């Protein structure tokens, strides 16, 4: 039976891998330099509060500590791709926590046999250099958007470094 919402905390089980393959939308949660959960959702992430109610260009999620959330979608018309929709972090997030979340997205792409990851980087703090460090490259140049792609086409990263 398919559940609308599901949280995975044990990642190396057959049931977890099958759930990740089956669900199109999810949130990767990392704290303290490691992935702690993946929350599977029945619908895509479309808007964030920072877009709807822009309070500051220095937006961080509420909460203390070292936490990073990555929202990803597998678009209905493009099942061979994953879209990185949002990265939300607390003010105390570490680079190690960010790396853990980003590397988990690569692992999910491999499980789903995705051809590529796509991202429209709206936040200028996400630099071209940072994207390049994680294997992303500029894609579909646009005047108002910074689009990036990380291509796999069957060759997935072996390492988990950042």
Q: Is the pLDDT of residue 98 over 90?
A: yes
SS3 5: coil
In a domain, 103, yes or no: yes
Contacts of 11 (CB under 8 A, 6+ apart): 35, 38
In a domain, 153, yes or no: no
Q: How confident is the model at residue 157 (pLDDT cuts 50, 70, 90)?
A: confident
In a domain, 83, yes or no: yes
Which own/partner contact pairs does 9-12 have at CB distance under 8 Å and 24+ positions apart?
9/36, 9/37, 11/35, 11/38
> What is this structure's pTM?
0.82
Q: How confident is the model at residue 52 (pLDDT cuts 50, 70, 90)?
A: very low
What is d(CA 109, CA 89) in angstroms, rounded to the nearest whole number? 21
- E strands within the chain? 6-8, 25-31, 34-41, 67-73, 81-89, 116-120, 137-138, 147-151
In a domain, 78, yes or no: yes
In a domain, 124, yes or no: no
In a domain, 93, yes or no: yes
In a domain, 136, yes or no: no
Q: How confident is the model at residue 59 (pLDDT cuts 50, 70, 90)?
A: very low
The region of weakest confidence among 7-11, 87-91, 124-128 is: 124-128
Provide φ and ψ at 119, rounded to 5°.
-150, 140
Longest Cα pair distance anywhere in the chain, in angstroms? 45
In a domain, 91, yes or no: yes
* Mean pLDDT for all residues in the chain: 84
Q: Is the pLDDT of residue 64 over 80?
A: no
Contact 27, 41 (CB under 8 A): yes
**Counted domains in the chain:** 1
Where in the sequence is the domain holding 77, given as residue range(s)?
Answer: 6-46+62-119
What is d(CA 30, CA 68) in angstroms, rounded to the nearest whole number? 5
What is d(CA 147, CA 13) in angstroms, rounded to the nearest whole number? 34
């Amino acid at each position: 039976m398919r559940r609308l919402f599901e949280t995975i905390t044990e990642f190396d089980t057959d049931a977890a891998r099958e759930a990740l393959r089956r669900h199109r939308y999810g949130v990767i949660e990392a704290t303290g330099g490691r992935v702690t959960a993946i929350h599977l959702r029945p619908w895509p992430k479309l808007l964030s509060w920072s877009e709807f109610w822009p309070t500051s260009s220095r937006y961080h999620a509420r909460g203390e500590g070292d936490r990073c959330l990555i929202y990803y979608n597998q678009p209905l018309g493009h099942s061979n791709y994953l879209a990185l929709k949002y990265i939300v972090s607390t003010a105390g997030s570490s680079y190690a926590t960010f790396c853990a979340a980003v590397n988990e997205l690569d692992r999910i792409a491999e499980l789903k046999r995705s051809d590529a990851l796509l991202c429209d980087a709206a936040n200028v703090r996400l630099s071209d250099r940072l994207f390049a460090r994680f294997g992303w490259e500029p894609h579909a140049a646009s005047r108002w958007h910074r689009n990036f792609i990380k291509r796999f086409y069957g060759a997935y990263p072996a390492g988990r470094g950042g």
